[in-house]
Amino acid sequence: MEFTDRLLKCVDCGEEFVFSAGEQLFFREKQLQYEPRRCKTCKAKHTNARGRVETGVTCSECGVATTVPFHPHLGRPVLCSACFQGKRSDAPPHSGGGNPEG
């Protein structure tokens, strides 16, 4: 099945927005039943209104300004996504808590 860009109308602001062919393919692959109802701007407002937070921080590792989806705790380092992924790939694999002798 070939997808083409479609114009949809936002239920919040009434503006038209593009539901791209790539987004349609993604929805199909994920077996999502309903098309998007909100434009990107209104979706972001709606998501933030439900209690999700974004906090502006400076990465403790590289010093770049970024945002994180939580409120950081005082005294604990906060990493940007690139440094966080780098730390994860450097970490030894978790053994699962089994017997250390074998």
More confident residue, 102 or 7: 7
* pLDDT of res. 102: 45
* pLDDT of res. 13: 95
Domain borders along the chain are 6-49, 55-90
Q: What do you get for the CA distance between the two ends of the chain, in Å?
A: 51
Taking only the tens place, the pLDDT of each residue in 1-55 is 689 999 999 999 999 999 999 999 999 999 999 999 999 999 888 876 666 677 8
Tell me the backbone φ, ψ of residue 7, rounded to 5 degrees: -95, 130
- Residue 3 exposure: Cα atoms within 13 Å on the Cβ side: 15
Closest to 67 measured CA to CA, from 55, 76, 85, 77: 55
